[in-house]
Chains A and B, each alone.
Chain A
Amino acid sequence: MIATFLKPALVLALLAGTAVAAPAQAQSAVEGQKLAFDRGKGNCLTCHVIKGGELPGTIGPELTGLKAKYSRDELIAIVTDETKRNPQTVMPPFGRNRILSEKEINAVVDFLQTL
């Protein structure tokens, strides 16, 4: 009896959670795009072709279809410190060298997952 009463409440709560999370993530992805295009911050565009970005660089691979290629954790790890996976990489260690905060890295990854 108690269980059947709790179940719909739980479902409702979860639904409410996702309803709140989805716009928040979209908002974060917008922030992430700003960071990715900002010369002083993420500046991803300096090396990568990114949809919506003008005058991209050519050093890194085009950032597209990333959701299919990498898990969220992998993307966070790459942005945080790609030298761990590939010591020869040109990519700056955005997390390790505090170029971006944890929150900013999350926003950038939210954006990357939309590409």
Chain B
Amino acid sequence: MTARFAIRAAIATLTLGVLACTPARAADSIDPAADKAAFQKFFTNKFPKLKLEDFVNGPYSMNEDLHKQWEEKEQFPPYEFSLEAGKEMFSTPFKNGKTYADCFPNKGIGIRQNYPYFDEKEGKVVTLELALNRCREANGEAPFSYVKDDMAALTAYMAFTSRGKPMDIKIPNDPRALQAYQKGKEYFYTRRGQLNFSCATCHIQSPGERIRAEVLAPALGILNAMPIYRSEWSGMGTTSRRFTTCNSQIRGVPLNPQDDEYRDLEYYLSYVSNGLPISGPGARP
């Protein structure tokens, strides 16, 4: 009788213990700081000759020939036209007389490294592209396409004023922020599309390798260079364009720009590149 009671009590304690432990353990397993350290260490181990800040140059950081090409390209950067256009757009008032500067901290200058951020009021991740279109709509202007032209020009200018500043993404002590980070991480590592690739397949497992003539970029610092002029696109593209075209190239169905999944993905990918300088706008083959 006593023995049976003792066993029951033991089982009850064990069950309680498991119940109490499970959620705690699940929460503990989301550790952005540890992820970031491991992520950056993976790349510096894989490419011991590169300095951390070199990774923002994408494929151009991967070998000397390409680096030379990049230096030559920077003499007459192909994004210059877009950058100039962005600067002008940024300072031109909306019909109501206000400007983009009124929507952002520090009048929008030198703040690129703080995007995306977790908005605790909305309970979601807000990217720079999203904030720009919200600014337009709040001032009675139609939103821009997220993938190129005007949006690329605006983000090019905002990145340019932030060049050299270390990416500085914060994850507030809010379970929803951690959840968004975790979802972004899961998206990054999940295989999809007919070709069965995850983002990591190319940009973690194979950076520096060639697919035909193209050199795959490292995931570390990949967003620090956005937006980019890509010769392959014959034009500028934003982070949204990069995400949607990646999904098409692996023969998957792209989401809509600024869908929650992409916002979370940008949050994760930017956070693990914290400390690396903003280098946008960039140029890529």
Interface residues of A (CB under 8 A from B): 45-47, 55-59, 83, 88, 90, 92-93, 97-99
Residues of B within 8 A of A55 (CB): 212-213
Separation in Å of the B134 CB from the closest CB of chain A?
38
| Complex CA distance for A83 and B195, rounded to whole angstroms | 12
Q: Report whether B197 and A92 are in contact in the complex, using a CB–CB cutoff of 8 Å.
A: yes
Q: Are A57 and B195 in contact (CB under 8 A)?
A: no
Question: How many of chain B's residues have a CB under 8 angstroms from any CB in A?
Answer: 13
A90 to B206, CA, bound (A): 9
Query: When the two chains form their complex, are residues B196 and A93 in contact, meaning their CB atoms are under 8 A apart?
Result: yes
- Tell me whether B196 and A92 are in contact (CB under 8 A): yes
| Cβ of B231 under 8 Å from chain A | no
B194 touches A92 (CB 8 A): yes
- Point out the residue from A45, A56, A59, A98 that lies within 8 Å of B206, measured CB to CB: A59
Q: What residues of A have a CB within 8 angstroms of the CB of B201 in the complex?
A: 90
Assess whether B205 is interfacial by the CB under 8 Å rule.
yes
Question: For residue B202, which residues in chain A have a CB less than 8 angstroms away from its CB?
Answer: 90
Whether A46 lies near B212 (C-beta < 8 A) is yes
CB distance from A63 to the nearest CB of B (A): 15
Residues of A with C-beta under 8 A to B211:
46-47, 57, 59
Residues of A contacting B212 with CB < 8 Å? 45-46, 55-57
| Contact A97 to B194, CB < 8 A, known contacts A57-B212, A59-B211, A90-B201 | yes
B73 at the interface (CB under 8 A from A): no
Interface contact A59-B196, CB-CB below 8 Å: no
B 198-214 to A, binary, CB cutoff 8 A, 1 in contact else 0: 00011001100111110
Residues of the A chain whose Cβ atoms lie less than 8 Å from the Cβ of B194: 92, 97-99
Q: Judge whether B210 and A57 touch: CB under 8 Å.
A: yes
Report how far A37 CA is from B196 CA in the complex, Å.
20
Between A and B, 30 residue pairs with Cβ closer than 8 Å are A45-B212, A46-B211, A46-B212, A47-B211, A55-B212, A55-B213, A56-B210, A56-B212, A57-B209, A57-B210, A57-B211, A57-B212, A58-B209, A59-B209, A59-B210, A59-B211, A88-B205, A90-B197, A90-B201, A90-B202, A90-B205, A90-B206, A92-B194, A92-B195, A92-B197, A97-B195, A97-B196, A98-B194, A99-B194, A99-B195
A33 to B210 CA separation, bound complex (whole angstroms): 21
- Residues on A with beta carbons closer than 8 Å to the beta carbon of B206: 59, 90
